[in-house]
Amino acid sequence: MVEELSRETDVVVIGAGPGGYAAAFRAADLGLEVTLVDVREKPGGVCLYEGCIPSKALLFAAELVSEARRAKELGIHFSDPRIDVGDLRRWKEDIVENFTKGLQGLGERRKVQFVRGRASFEGSESLRLKGGEVSQIRFKHAIVATGSRSSALPGIQITSDRLMYSSEALELQEVPETLLVVGGGYIGLELGTVYASLGSKVTVVELTDQLLPGVDRDLVRPVEKRVRELVSGVHLKTRVVGMEETGRGLEVEFEGEIEAVRHNFDKVLACVGRKPNSVDLGLEHTNVQTDENGFIQVDSQRRTGDQHILAIGDVAGEPMLAHKATREGKVAAEVIAGQPSSFDNLAIPAVVFTDPEVAWCGLTETQARSEGRKVKVSRFPWAASSRALTLGRSEGMTKMLFDPESGRVLGVGIVGCHAGELIAEGVLAIEMGAVAEDLAATVHAHPTLSETLGETAEAFLGQAIHIYRK
């Protein structure tokens, strides 16, 4: 009989994604004894292994391909790229391997005990582990950071290698000749762009009447235009109602605004949202509560209904973004260490890494309208930015939402190349309670795209140099 290996720890963190490893490292830095548990061999979570990082590596490759094609507008002619999928896959895997190894080293130096296994609660102070050397951990505090997984395509039961979710798509086994992307959200547009740039004929179907539902339409427009140029079809108000494996692919049946109700594809990528990993965690043996969507309910300190257990990241609610998980991880660790921390951030940036990128933070125009909030919106078109012109990217736009009385910055939205980098200034402005004058009087380097933020604030004040309003 195998002897049961049991451990005791101050803090156990379940799940070593960007929420979990940040929590574990912060707790260790605060002098707590920490054990970090994950089913994977090394820390990193979905973000490193099958999310943010591999997708951004492949998007960089896609960008290189499209920039090389675009170069002919400048009189520079490259021949068509020859893509070695094996080399590209290895390059992406090396990035992941490098970073997860780095995280493992950082954990070891902090004396965080990394334990492999699938954890579930036996009670409010103990965990059962399967699949590793340790079978039980008794703890004073636990932080649940188990993340999320892809939602299944509703109404479709088949199992087929041709039906992929984001994890399989990121493995990049091959570049299919034809690819159907179901869902025009973050993943659909990012990975749809990757496969289209690598040579697949991509079709996108989206249930609602716009790509990136919920995002301000003026921010989505330039992305939609570019996506339509890149792929062979975008069908809004359309959904998949049937799918069948045939000898030559997947025969897909549609309902909605699409001409052909049936079509054959080599592969299908389903990306219709994600759901929290809160089942099979033994939460019924604790006082932790979940909501109707399975998210663990937490307060502003990320405490659950159980005094020994906190929860962070995707499993603890929207938005399901890595940087939100990381911030929550730090808060949870500080709360356990007795600090008065709380997740009181005013702006969580969102970035869709399409070409052009879309980024926003704080209040959006769509939200303001639905809440009936009075705001003043100021826009600066990138056609008036000299930097955008030198990059050949004048399709971008920067906009800001201000409180009409105080001029306080309430929200920022940017569409254009590098929008994901530029949004940081907007986040800081909102967190610092900045008003339009603060941004207008800040000197932005010339020629940079960051000037568009200053000019958007100047436009609100009626002072923008590069746009004229009587």
- Residues 150, 1: Cα–Cα separation, whole Å: 38
15 binds, among ligand NAD, ligand FAD, none (CB under 5 to 8 A by kind): ligand FAD
CA of 178: how far to CAs of 182, 235, 251, in Å? 13, 16, 12
Q: Which stretch binds ligand NAD (CB under 6 A): 132-140, 181-189, 376-384, 431-439?
A: 181-189
| Contact (CB, 8 A) for 360 and 414 | yes
Q: Closer to ligand NAD at the Cβ: 160 or 208?
A: 208
Smallest distance from ligand NAD to CB 160, Å: 17
Closest by CA position to 439, among listed 454, 423, 419: 454
By CB under 6 A, residue 273 contacts ligand NAD: yes
- Contact range with ligand NAD by CB under 6 A, out of 2-10, 224-232, 258-266, 345-353: 345-353
The one segment of 130-138, 318-326, 410-418, 455-463 that binds ligand NAD by CB under 6 A = 318-326
| Structure tokens, 107 | 């954990």
Query: Which DSSP symbol is given to 408?
Result: B
Choices 262-270, 320-328, 385-393, 439-447; region in contact with ligand FAD by CB under 6 A: 320-328
Q: Decide whether 140 or 149 has the Cβ nearer to ligand NAD.
A: 149
Assess whether 446 carries a catalytic annotation: yes
What letter would DSSP give residue 199?
Answer: T
User: How many residues sit in the footprint of ligand NAD (CB under 6 A)?
Assistant: 26
Output the CA torsion sign for 113, 116, 121, 123: negative
- Asked if 396 touches ligand FAD (CB under 6 A), the answer is no
* Contact partner, 347, from ligand NAD, ligand FAD, none, Cβ < 5-8 Å per class: none
Pairing mode, if any, of strands 136-144 and 6-14? Answer: parallel
- Rule CB under 6 A: choose which of 112, 219, 322, 459 binds ligand FAD: 322
Is residue 432 within 8 A of residue 409, CB to CB? The reply is no
Decide if residue 17 touches ligand FAD (CB under 6 A): yes
Torsion of CA 99, 103, 109, 111, to 10 degrees: -160
Positions in 39-58 near ligand FAD (CB under 6 A): 39-40, 45-47, 51-52, 55-56
Determine phi and psi for 266, rounding to 5 degrees: -65, -40
Segment 348-367, which members bind ligand FAD (CB under 6 A)?
353
Options 28, 129, 170, 272; binder of ligand NAD; rule CB under 6 A:
272
Determine if 347 is a binding residue for ligand FAD (CB under 6 A): no
- Residues 211, 224 contacting (CB under 8 angstroms): yes
Least distance in angstroms from the C-beta of 51 to ligand FAD: 3
| Binding flags for ligand NAD, 140-169, as an x/- string (CB under 6 A) | --------------x---------------
The amino acid sitting at 386 is: S
Q: Are 56 and 166 in contact (CB under 8 A)?
A: no
Q: Give yes or no for residue 185 binding ligand FAD (CB under 6 A).
A: no
- Give yes or no for residue 184 binding ligand FAD (CB under 6 A): no
Q: Does 220 bind ligand NAD (CB under 6 A)?
A: no
Of 77, 263, 444, 446, the active-site residue reads 446
8 Å CB contact between 321 and 18: no
Q: Which two tokens stand for residue 356?
A: 């052009």
Q: Which does 38 bind (CB under 5 to 8 A by kind): ligand FAD, ligand NAD, none?
A: ligand FAD
CA neighbor of 461 nearest in space, from 385, 396, 407, 382? 407
- 361/74 Cα distance (integer angstroms): 34
CA distances from 254 to 179, 211, 219, 249, 433 (A): 15, 18, 28, 16, 48
The pair phi, psi for residue 212, each rounded to 5°, is 45, 60
446 phi and psi angles, rounded to 5 deg = -115, 140
Residue 269, binding choice from ligand NAD, ligand FAD, none, Cβ under 5 to 8 Å by partner class: none
Q: Which residues bind ligand FAD (CB under 6 A)?
A: 14-20, 37-40, 45-47, 51-52, 55-56, 118-119, 145-148, 166, 187, 277, 281, 313-314, 320-323, 325, 353
Which residues are annotated as catalytic? 446
Q: Which residues bind ligand NAD (CB under 6 A)?
A: 154, 182-188, 190, 205-208, 213, 239-240, 271-274, 319-321, 351-353
